[in-house]
Structure 1
Amino acid sequence: MKAAADIEVASTLSSTDLDAVERLLPLLSSTAGYDRNRMLAMLDHPGLNLFVARVGGEIVGMATLATFPLPTGWRGHVDDVVVDDTQRGKGIARSLLVAIIQLARERGLRTLDLTSRPSRASAIHLYESVGFERRDSVLMRFRPTEFNN
């Protein structure tokens, strides 16, 4: 059986790819600002991998893995997991997560974390189904500067 999408770590993004990412961002957050230069800078950042899911060559989903050293070990954080509405339910988000988990294992990361709003029950179920566990934790955020991006 053919996979629903081809998963890859993006090393370049064409103009068409960037347009696809721009269409995906509002599905993540109504307040997320899009910046092409920031997207391209992500590709060159040594601690960041942008995973993309392609169907017929077109990006229909994405997720990011941030990897960083801490005194307690190498850690990873998954962010911005999103799949186009027309492609949901086909296992694409699962494939993105499995690819991220595989890279985290290859890198010997001590932990791989992600956060999700409690209202996203289906996303939480997916995360748990690939091995993420709920933690008794409080997510806190500080905004050093107010900006649109």
Structure 2
Amino acid sequence: MSEASVQIELLSELSDANAAELELLLGQLSTAAFDRSRIAAMLGHDGIELFVARDGRRIVGMATLVTVPLPTGWRGHVEDVVVDATMRGRGVARLLLERLTSLASERGLRTLDLTSRPSRESALRLYEAVGFVRRDTNVLRFTPQPTDGTSSH
């Protein structure tokens, strides 16, 4: 694969083939269960865009761009960046991130953030190479517990 053979596109349709490929990618990223209805909801949400990297017809990477208007300006966040294990080290993640940073600039976003564990040293080097800057901050997370034994999301 050369970078020229990989195309970055905005996913607009969740075909059976797309769903199967996204499920494989998500399994390499997280222990979160794949939920086709959640992906479909994302594709229909105005503030969320799912970009995929295709090598030919096969999806080999993905990244989510979330944009929101806040009192301090339009802000963006990159989520769920993953490249298939067989394609890592070939520039796929760089192409995805370059597309998202380019869109952030074109749209006049005030900031574009992403988070990554400190142990992911090669990913951090890539993020810095495409223009992200480490910040002296703490990421805090609250995980709500369902009150009725079910989850709505």
Partner of 1:29: 30
User: Is the 8 Å Cα contact of residues 3 and 91 (structure 2) preserved in structure 1?
Assistant: no
Separation (CA, whole Å) in 2 of partners of 1:61 and 1:94: 11
Deviations 1:107-136 (A, max 9, x none): 110000000000000000000000000000
Normalised to the residue count of structure 2, the TM-score between the two structures is 0.92
Query: SS of 1:133's equivalent?
Result: coil
User: Is the 8 Å Cα contact of residues 4 and 90 (structure 1) preserved in structure 2?
Assistant: no
**Any unmatched runs of 5+ in structure 2?**
none
Aligned: 1:54 with 2:57: no
Deviations 1:46-79 (A, max 9, x none): 0000000001111010000000011110000000
Separation (CA, whole Å) in 2 of partners of 1:80 and 1:73: 23
Deviations 1:61-106 (A, max 9, x none): 0000000011110000000000000011110000000001111111
User: Is the 8 Å Cα contact of residues 5 and 56 (structure 2) preserved in structure 1?
Assistant: no
User: Is the 8 Å Cα contact of residues 63 and 82 (structure 2) preserved in structure 1?
Assistant: yes
Question: Structure 1 pair 83/60, CA: closer, same or farther in 2 (3 Å)?
Answer: same
Q: What amino acid does structure 2 have at the position aligned with 1:15?
A: D
How far did 1:11 drift?
Answer: 1.0
Separation (CA, whole Å) in 1 of partners of 2:79 and 2:3: 26
User: Is the 8 Å Cα contact of residues 10 and 51 (structure 2) preserved in structure 1?
Assistant: yes
Separation (CA, whole Å) in 2 of partners of 1:136 and 1:71: 23
**How many residues are paired up?**
148
Aligned: 1:6 with 2:7: yes
How far did 1:145 drift?
Answer: 2.6
Normalised to the residue count of structure 1, the TM-score between the two structures is 0.94
Query: SS of 2:126's equivalent?
Result: helix
Separation (CA, whole Å) in 2 of partners of 1:130 and 1:33: 30
Identity of aligned residues (%): 60
**Any unmatched runs of 5+ in structure 1?**
none
User: Is the 8 Å Cα contact of residues 18 and 59 (structure 2) preserved in structure 1?
Assistant: yes
Separation (CA, whole Å) in 2 of partners of 1:4 and 1:110: 32
User: Is the 8 Å Cα contact of residues 67 and 77 (structure 2) preserved in structure 1?
Assistant: yes
Pairwise CA RMSD: 1.5
User: Is the 8 Å Cα contact of residues 4 and 92 (structure 1) preserved in structure 2?
Assistant: no
Deviates further, 3-12 or 114-123: 3-12
